[in-house]
């Protein structure tokens, strides 16, 4: 006889091994933008899911570890944190529009920083209590990529600082 706890544990294990199967038919609402930052409009899209192996093949090692595994880029090592180019920052995994250069600012932290997302619908946040601190994680609504964290020490008008990993972004101008 198999104990009920063992069956429950097996079900949890299966769910963790293949999350893309349980999310394959989920739909999300996002706002689409063209590459110049022009708003196209609200749409419903099928959630972007891939196996871990597919993500590894699609992304560079740094992109994979940052966007899919939640690690943090080393500060002051990229180019986006100091870029003043006009354009749009998209998710490296699914091309969802995330941030506009119009809300970008130099936070002095070594990571690209923004006062707000291009559309609140395109991201979501959740508590992150890792590394012995309380933070708020920022993720892509369309594919669940880890983008970075949001802090309440930013400039006006929002007072927020979206501190985002460069390796989770793709710039288009």
Structural domain harbouring 104 = 4-172
Residue 95: its pLDDT value, please? 98
| Catalytic site residue from 91, 94, 140, 163 | 163
pLDDT band at 22 (very low <50, low <70, confident <90, very high): low
Residue 46: its pLDDT value, please? 97
Q: Tell me what the mean pLDDT of segment 149-153 comes to.
A: 97
Q: What is the CATH number of the domain that holds 108?
A: 2.170.150.20
Residue 106 has pLDDT above 50, yes or no: yes
Location of structure tokens 């940052």: 66
163 noted as active-site residue: yes
Beta bridge partners of 91: 169
Residue 109 has pLDDT above 80, yes or no: yes
pLDDT band at 24 (very low <50, low <70, confident <90, very high): low
Give me the number of domains the chain comprises.
Answer: 1
For the whole prediction, is pTM greater than 0.75? Answer: yes
Q: Tell me what the mean pLDDT of segment 11-25 comes to.
A: 49
Residue 4 has pLDDT above 70, yes or no: no
For the chain, give the mean pLDDT.
Answer: 89
For residues 46 and 63, give the distance between their C-alpha atoms in angstroms, rounded to a whole number.
Answer: 22
For residues 27 and 48, give the distance between their C-alpha atoms in angstroms, rounded to a whole number.
Answer: 9
Location of structure tokens 């809300």: 103
């Amino acid at each position: 006889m198999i104990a009920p706890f063992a069956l429950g544990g097996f079900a949890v294990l299966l769910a963790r091994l293949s999350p893309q199967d349980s999310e394959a038919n989920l739909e999300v609402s996002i706002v689409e933008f063209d590459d110049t930052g022009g708003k196209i409009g609200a749409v419903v899209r099928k959630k972007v899911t891939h196996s871990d192996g597919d993500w590894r093949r699609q992304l560079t090692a740094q992109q994979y570890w940052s966007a899919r595994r939640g690690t943090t880029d080393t500060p002051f090592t990229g180019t986006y944190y100091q870029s003043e180019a006009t354009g749009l920052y998209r998710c490296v995994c699914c091309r969802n529009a995330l941030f506009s250069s119009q809300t970008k600012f130099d936070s002095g932290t070594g990571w690209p920083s923004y006062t707000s997302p291009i559309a609140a619908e395109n991201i979501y946040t959740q508590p992150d209590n890792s590394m012995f601190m309380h933070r708020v994680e920022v993720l892509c609504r369309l594919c669940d990529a880890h983008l970075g964290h949001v802090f309440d020490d930013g400039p006006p008008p929002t007072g927020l600082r979206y501190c985002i990993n460069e390796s989770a972004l793709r710039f288009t101008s």
